[in-house]
A = this chain, B = another copy of it.
Amino acid sequence: MRIVFIQTGGTIDKDYPRTRKGYAFEIREPAVERILQKVHPNLDYKIIPLLKKDSQDITKQDREKIRETCEGVNSDKIVITHGTDTMLETARKLDGIKSKVIILTGAMRPEKFVDSDAPFNVGTAIGAINILTKGVYVAMNGRIYPWNKVKRNQKTGQFVEG
On A, residues with C-beta under 8 Å from B are 1, 11, 14, 16, 20-25, 35-36, 38-43, 54, 56, 84-85, 108-110, 112-117, 119-132, 139, 141-144, 156-161
Is A39 a contact of B158 with CB atoms below 8 Å? no
**Given A39-B120, A123-B119, A123-B120, A16–B11 Cβ distance below 8 Å?**
yes
Is A130 a contact of B114 with CB atoms below 8 Å? no
Q: A128's closest neighbor in chain B, by CB?
A: B127
A48 CB, min distance to chain B CBs, angstroms: 18
Q: A129's closest neighbor in chain B, by CB?
A: B127
A-B contact pairs, 10 of them (CB 8 A): A16-B109, A16-B110, A38-B109, A39-B142, A40-B141, A40-B156, A114-B114, A123-B124, A130-B143, A131-B144
Interface-centre pick from A35, A41, A114, A123 (highest chain B CB count, 10 A): A123
The contact of A121 among B24, B123, B128, by CB within 8 Å, is B123
A24–B14 Cα gap in the complex (Å)? 10
Is B16 a contact of A113 with CB atoms below 8 Å? yes
Is A42 a contact of B141 with CB atoms below 8 Å? yes
A142–B119 Cα gap in the complex (Å)? 12
A72 CB, min distance to chain B CBs, angstroms: 24
A65–B85 Cα gap in the complex (Å)? 39
Q: A35's closest neighbor in chain B, by CB?
A: B120
A139–B56 Cα gap in the complex (Å)? 34
A20–B114 Cα gap in the complex (Å)? 19
Is B115 a contact of A127 with CB atoms below 8 Å? no
Q: A16's closest neighbor in chain B, by CB?
A: B109
